[in-house]
Amino acid sequence: MNTNGKNQTESIEFNLLTALEISQIIDTAMRAPSVHNTQPYKIKFLPPDKFEIYGDLSRHLKVGDPSFRDHLASIGAFCEGIRLGLQLKKIVCQITYQDSPVSPEIVSNALREKTDGTNSDIHLCATINLMRQATSLEIDSNDLELGNQMTKRTSFRGIFEPVDDRTFLNVSTDLNALENIVIFSTKKDIAHIDAIYSAETSKINSEKRYVEELYYWLRLKRSHPRWSFDGLNSKAMSLKPLEAATGQILMKPQILPILSKIGLGAFITSESPQIRSSSFIVGMFQPHSINPMDTGKNFFHLWLHLAKHNIACCPLSAAVDSEAGQKAILEMTRQTRPHWTASHGRFMTLLRCGFIPEGLKYRSPRRTLGEIIIEK
């Protein structure tokens, strides 16, 4: 457990939880996925029975996520992690989302570059009220099963080992019970998705502002001060030392966009071998009517369902971040999901899936509790 920040919880007195239990719940909830591993949330404890969850605008990707969709989805996944943690402690809670967690004023402020190039503002996104000890009828066995997967959920950006047929059948059966999920498992489909992803990443990597933002969240050297806390470090990206050292130079904003524009960027950023090693790729479609924070909750649930079968995943979000990518993936589902249209919704992400080779499992870094707790 990440105990840095223990002092911030030692003096907290809740009716239904001890200080240690609060630390454990929040620490586990922080294993929820977030865009670029930014972990864009903070929490305020309001004893005896309330948490407030805030978005941290200093961690918002203003170039890569101008709509705040991924920002809010990341916060929604964190909230769901807390809810599942409370279920494991047999506590009923109620989560209330703010009606407008990202108001026009907040958007304007976040998109306005400050003199030091950062934002330090926070915005209230949700309130979690601890209601009571759960009765046997209020304990959801599915929630307990998913909650127990939170510390087992794994991201892997390297080359997968193949999934055996029996496991794939079990995964398919499990995922078919979920809404708005599609599985691409043929070599032809996986190769096509690889081509779409490669084309879309080549486009965005030619944009200097996007690469500047991405490079800020890369931790390619162990000496980086944030290596063990957030962002995308070279260990989490399964990069060999030479690859990391090369990336440290060639992925700089002054270099990668130029290489991408002349068609050489793919030699640095290509993930084709990794994508084509996937046993299958899962697509998650979400109707426009769904709250982005619920989208984050659903995404976390999907990943936890995969974790039950020891499946590791890697997001291929760039494949569906553009209209062209959305259109291409929707076309692949036209026969089996004709009701999935651009007017109805959009793909939130794609996840490439497989087994991690022995000895290569790695837990991506997380911030300390002390960093995310808002003191009164």
Q: Could you tell me if 314 and 232 are in contact, meaning their C-beta atoms sit under 8 angstroms apart?
A: no
The structure tokens listed for 123 are 């915005």
Contacts for 108-116: CB closer than 8 Å, 24+ residues apart: 109/57, 110/57, 110/60, 110/62, 110/68, 111/62, 111/66
- Measuring CA to CA, which residue among 22, 34, 31, 20 is closest to residue 75? 34
Using a pLDDT cut of 90, give the percent of the chain over it.
84
- Measuring CA to CA, which residue among 214, 206, 197 is closest to residue 62? 214
Examine the pLDDT at 241 and tell me if it is beyond 90.
yes
**pLDDT class of 109 with cuts at 50, 70, 90:** low
The structure tokens listed for 333 are 């589902």
Per-residue confidence (pLDDT) for residue 16, from 0 to 100: 85
Domain 7-152, CATH 3.40.109.10 — does that match? yes
7-152 and 155-204+265-360 share one fold: yes
**Cα-trace Rg, the chain:** 20
Examine the pLDDT at 7 and tell me if it is beyond 60.
no
Extents of the domains making up the chain: 7-152, 155-204+265-360, 206-264
Examine the pLDDT at 119 and tell me if it is beyond 90.
no
Kindly report, residue by residue over 290-302, the tens digit of the pLDDT. Answer: 999 999 999 999 9
**Where does the chain show beta strands of DSSP type E?**
41-46, 50-56, 91-97, 122-133, 181-184, 218-219, 232-233, 280-287, 312-315, 345-354
**pLDDT class of 101 with cuts at 50, 70, 90:** confident
Examine the pLDDT at 12 and tell me if it is beyond 80.
no
Per-residue confidence (pLDDT) for residue 4, from 0 to 100: 55
pTM beyond 0.85, yes or no: yes
Per-residue confidence (pLDDT) for residue 107, from 0 to 100: 67
The structure tokens listed for 85 are 């943690």
Per-residue confidence (pLDDT) for residue 6, from 0 to 100: 53
Q: What DSSP designation does 58 have?
A: G
Using a pLDDT cut of 70, give the percent of the chain over it.
93
The residues pairing with 128 across neighbouring beta strands, listed in sequence order, are 51, 95
Examine the pLDDT at 114 and tell me if it is beyond 80.
no
CA distance 39 to 152: 18
Examine the pLDDT at 10 and tell me if it is beyond 70.
no
CA distance 108 to 106: 5
Angle at which helices 292-307 and 165-176 cross, to 10°: 150
Say which CATH architecture domain 155-204+265-360 belongs to.
3-Layer(aba) Sandwich (3.40)
- Measuring CA to CA, which residue among 31, 26, 34 is closest to residue 296? 34
Lowest-confidence pick of 30-44, 91-105, 279-293: 91-105
* Amino acid making up residue 230: D
Mean predicted confidence (pLDDT) in 280-286: 98
Per-residue confidence (pLDDT) for residue 122, from 0 to 100: 87
CA distance 80 to 82: 5
Kindly report, residue by residue over 173-218, the tens digit of the pLDDT. Answer: 999 999 999 999 999 999 999 999 999 999 999 999 999 999 999 9
pLDDT averaged over the chain?
Answer: 92
- Residues found in the chain: 376
- Measuring CA to CA, which residue among 176, 90, 185 is closest to residue 139? 90
CA distance 299 to 305: 10
Kindly report, residue by residue over 206-228, the tens digit of the pLDDT. Answer: 999 999 999 999 999 999 999 99
The structure tokens listed for 46 are 């309001």
Per-residue confidence (pLDDT) for residue 115, from 0 to 100: 46
Examine the pLDDT at 5 and tell me if it is beyond 80.
no
